[in-house]
Structure 1
Amino acid sequence: MNNFFEVKIEITVEDIDDLNHVNNAVYVKWMDDVAFKHWEHLTKNEPITDTIWVVSRHEIDYKSEAFLGDEIIAKTYVGNTRGVTSERFIEFYKGETLLAKSKTIWVLLDAKSYKPVRIRENILNLLQPFK
């Protein structure tokens, strides 16, 4: 996949658990942060304020450990987007080592009613380069 959006992650002491590695739950927070930064990047020239994204499902496969002081790069891209849902994939790397990979299903909601809305062409066009 050549169309990754990348985010560098700084591991903090708060990310570390009793086993002295990044806690599994921290990856969920990172997934949210990476998705938010990507969406912010995509809409920086034309903010979209009448809709919001919410998570409907997360899947995470943990492959290796990360420790305080490690440099982590998260790479994300968008998968199938249709109807009211969009897939987002994120892979977390320490150097060439895959630490974790995730798939999240996002649902687009109307920002006022919080009801699902069909993903419009303007949003599809933003996400297309990342398919």
Structure 2
Amino acid sequence: MTWDLPTPFVIDLRVGAQDIDGLGHANNAAYVTWLERSAWRHSQRLGLDLAEYRRLDRAMAVVRHEIDYLAAGYEDDELQLATWIVEWDQRLRMTRHFQLKRPSDGLTLLRARTTFACIELSTGRPRRMPGEFLEGYGPAVIQA
């Protein structure tokens, strides 16, 4: 598979009946759910799961999605969703790039960018990333 950027974190997806809308293709809300799933699984792989977020009283919360829907996905399509951390300021913000592909024809269905801000869970206010975030996310940042 050829990806936009090197060394992606990739998850496999299958478009289910619950993902299909009245137009007969995957609903845009399903794509957003998949982006979230991909980001969480990548964070978990980096050692930053929900339990760690709670322990640290910090989380990376979405502040902006930019999504380009390029082609439709249909029921039973097997898909692959890649993500990369492409920007971060090592204080408050981090940006992920996503690319969704259908391996059967190599078509890219979606490209997206999501910007996250580090928040304190107990207050919901922006707070600096703790050292554990720098250690966990830092090695995964690539130059886009």
TM-score by length of 1: 0.90
> What is the identity, as a one-letter code, of the residue corresponding to 1:91?
Q
**Partner Cα separation in structure 2 for residue 39 and residue 91 of structure 1:** 17
Residue of structure 1 equivalent to 2:95: 87
- 1:47 deviation in Å? 3.4
User: Partner letter of residue 53 of structure 1?
Assistant: M
Measure how far apart 1:44 and its partner are: 6.2
Cα separation, partners in 2 of 1:40 and 1:11, compared to 1, 3 Å = same
Q: Percent identity?
A: 24
Give the alignment's Cα RMSD to 1 decimal. 1.8
Distance in 1 between residues matched to 2:78 and 2:22, nearest whole Å:
20
Hey, which of these two has a bigger chunk of strand by percent?
1
Structure-2 separation of matches of 1:24 and 1:31: 11
Q: Do residues 62 (structure 1) and 69 (structure 2) align?
A: yes
TM-score (norm 2): 0.83
Unaligned runs of 5+ in 2: none
Residue in 1 that maps onto 2:20? 16
> Distance in 2 between the 1:3 and 1:129 partners?
12
What SS does structure 2 have at the residue aligned with 1:102?
Answer: strand
Partner of 1:47, secondary structure, is: helix
Q: Tell me if the contact between 2:48 and 2:136 (Cα under 8 Å) persists in the aligned partners.
A: no
Provide the rounded CA distance (Å) in 1 between the counterparts of 2:64 and 2:48.
26
1:1-131 superposed matches below 5 A: 1-43=5-47, 47-48=52-53, 49-50=55-56, 51-82=58-89, 83-95=91-103, 96-131=106-141
Moved over 4 A (4+): none
